[in-house]
Amino acid sequence: SLSAVSHSGKCSRVMVIGGDGYCGWATALHLSKQGYEVAIVDSLVRRLFDEQLGTHTLTPIASLQKRVKRWRDLSGKSLSVYVGDICDFEFLESSLRAFAPDAVVHFGEQRSAPYSMIDRGRAIFTQHNNVIGTLNVLFAIKEFAAECHLVKLGTMGEYGTPNIDIEEGFITINHNGRSDTLPYPKQASSFYHLSKVHDSHNIAFTCKAWGLRATDLNQGVVYGVMTPETQLHEELINRLDYDAIFGTALNRFCVQAAIGHPLTVYGKGGQTRGYLDIRDTVRCVELAIANPPNLGEFRVFNQFTEQFSVNELAKLVIGAGKKLGIEVEAANVPNPRVEAEEHYYNAKHTKLVELGLEPHFLSDALLDSLLNVAIKYLDRVDRALIMPDVSWKKVGVKPRTVMS
C-alpha cells in the first residue's frame, strides 16, 4: 500500500534503481542527506562487467554493504538495500511493495555504447536488460504504486546530431498546412543509445494509456567524481571509469593526462555533446522529484549544462595540465565509432534551470581536482585499458573477448 505521505502529494520515499553505480550512488547519498527515505535497488551487474572484461574503477570503491554501513555511521541515516535484477519481475514487485516509494529514480541500465557494440551477445543483453527492466518498472508502478513518479535516466544521444536545433523532447512541425507538437526525431548511434529510445517510447505510451507520471531525463555526458557526500570518507568514494569501454570523454582525458598518455581524440574531434558535473546530476534528479508532473503526463528534460567538442575538452585538459606542471598532448586516434565528426549542435536545456538548477560550469578548479584525484590513484591505472578496441563496423555474431 502507498504511504500516507504519497497521498498528500509530497514525495518523501525514493527508490534509486542502479544506486550502486556512478550516478546512482552519488544521487542516493544526496537524497538521503536532503532528508528523503532512500532505498537502493541494484543487481551489482556493473561490478560483474569489470570482472568479465578486466576493467576497474580508478578509485577503489567499497562493497555496497560497506558503503551503506559507513554512510549510516557518518550521517545517522539508513539506506534500504534490495540486491536483485529488475528484469526479474517478482524481485522488483516485492521490493517495490516493501518500500512503497513516492518516486522511483531509474539509473539501472547497461550504459556503455562501446559495451553494446562488442558483439551480438552484448548488443542483445543491453537492449534486453534496459528495455525489459524499464517495462517491468512501468508494470510494477501501474499495478502496485499508481501515483508513483518515475524519473527515468535517458540520454541526449537519443537525438543524435541533427542539422537543426534540438528541443526538449518535443518539436512543433507545420506540414501541408497543419501543425502538431510531436516527439523530437530520434537518431541514436549505438545499440545502447537505441535502448534509451525504445524506453522513451514505452514510457510515453504508458503515461498516455495508463495515466502514469514520468520524467525522462535526457542526460548528457557526466564528469567529475566528488560530491559533498562521497568525499566524506574513502569508503564512500564513487567509481571513476577510465577504460575505453566504460570511461567517458572528459573523465578519461583527466586520467590520461595524469599518467602522461596522449589524449585519445577520436577522428577529427569535432564531435559535440552536452556535458554536466556529477554534482549537477544529483541536483537535477532532486529537482525532478520535488516538482512531479501530473498523472498522465510524460515530461522530458534535457539534462546538461554546457556543450563542448572533443577537441575543446582536450584543449582544456592540456591547459589545466600545464598549470600543474604536467606536459599533455592530444593524439588523433582512428575513430572506432560511426558518428559525425564535424556537425552543427545546439541543444535547448532550460527546463531544469527554470526549476532552480544552478549549474557548476566546467572550471579550472574542477579540472585541477579531477586531475589531482587521477594523480592520487595513478598507481591503479592499467595503460592497456586506454586505447579503444571496440569497432562499430566490426561488431559481429561471434562472442568476443576484449582487453585480453
Long-range contacts of 314-323 (CB under 8 A, 24+ apart): 314/253, 314/263, 314/265, 314/269, 316/362, 316/367, 317/250, 317/253, 317/254, 317/257, 317/263, 317/367, 317/371, 318/257, 318/263, 320/257, 320/364, 320/367, 320/368, 320/371, 321/257, 321/371, 323/364, 323/368
Provide the 10 A C-beta neighbour count for residue 240.
Answer: 26
- In this structure, what DSSP letter does residue 41 have? E
The listed partner (ligand NAD, ligand USQ, none) that binds 271, CB under 5 to 8 Å by sort, is: ligand USQ
Looking at 14, 30, 32, 108, which residue binds ligand NAD (CB under 6 A)?
108
The listed partner (ligand NAD, ligand USQ, none) that binds 337, CB under 5 to 8 Å by sort, is: ligand USQ
Q: Which is nearer to ligand USQ, 29 or 113 (CB)?
A: 113
Side-chain-side CA neighbours of residue 398 (13 Å): 4
Site string for ligand USQ, 78-117 (x = CB under 6 A): ---------------------------------xxx----
Site string for ligand USQ, 226-245 (x = CB under 6 A): --------------------
Looking at 239, 337, 349, 351, which residue binds ligand USQ (CB under 6 A)?
337
Cα(18)–Cα(14) distance, integer angstroms: 12
* 306: helix, strand or coil: strand
**Interaction between residue 286 and ligand NAD (CB under 6 A):** no
H-only helix segments in 76-163 = 89-99, 113-116, 120-127, 133-144
Does 248 qualify as catalytic in the annotation? no
Smallest gap from Cβ 180 to ligand NAD, in A, equals: 29
Site string for ligand USQ, 273-292 (x = CB under 6 A): xx------------------
Q: Which residue is nearest to ligand USQ (CB)?
A: 157
Cα(328)–Cα(305) distance, integer angstroms: 26
Cα(397)–Cα(207) distance, integer angstroms: 36
The listed partner (ligand NAD, ligand USQ, none) that binds 381, CB under 5 to 8 Å by sort, is: none
Cα(252)–Cα(263) distance, integer angstroms: 8
**Interaction between residue 389 and ligand USQ (CB under 6 A):** no
**Interaction between residue 213 and ligand USQ (CB under 6 A):** no
The one-letter amino acid code at 92 reads L
**Interaction between residue 339 and ligand USQ (CB under 6 A):** yes
Does 196 qualify as catalytic in the annotation? yes
As given in the structure block, the three cell numbers for residue 396 are 559481429
Q: Which is nearer to ligand USQ, 265 or 300 (CB)?
A: 265
Smallest gap from Cβ 346 to ligand USQ, in A, equals: 14
Active-site residue, selected from the candidate residues 36, 192, 223, 266:
192
Does 155 qualify as catalytic in the annotation? yes
Tell me the number of residues near ligand NAD by CB under 6 A. Answer: 27
Q: Which is nearer to ligand NAD, 6 or 242 (CB)?
A: 242
Active-site residue, selected from the candidate residues 59, 126, 134, 155:
155
- In this structure, what DSSP letter does residue 229 have? T
The listed partner (ligand USQ, ligand NAD, none) that binds 264, CB under 5 to 8 Å by sort, is: ligand USQ
Determine the interface stretch with ligand NAD among 108-116, 208-216, 263-271, 288-296 (rule: CB under 6 A).
108-116
C-alpha triplet 355, 348, 192: angle, nearest 5°: 100
Q: Judge whether 373 and 320 are in contact, CB under 8 Å.
A: no
As given in the structure block, the three cell numbers for residue 371 are 586531475
Q: Judge whether 26 and 281 are in contact, CB under 8 Å.
A: yes
Instruction: Look at the block and give the residue holding cell 558483439.
Output: 119
Residues with a catalytic annotation lie at 155, 192, 196
Contact residues: ligand NAD, CB under 6 A: 18, 20-24, 42-46, 85-87, 107-111, 129, 133, 153, 155, 219, 221-222, 248
Contact residues: ligand USQ, CB under 6 A: 111-113, 155-157, 193, 220-221, 248-249, 252, 264-266, 271, 273-274, 310, 337, 339
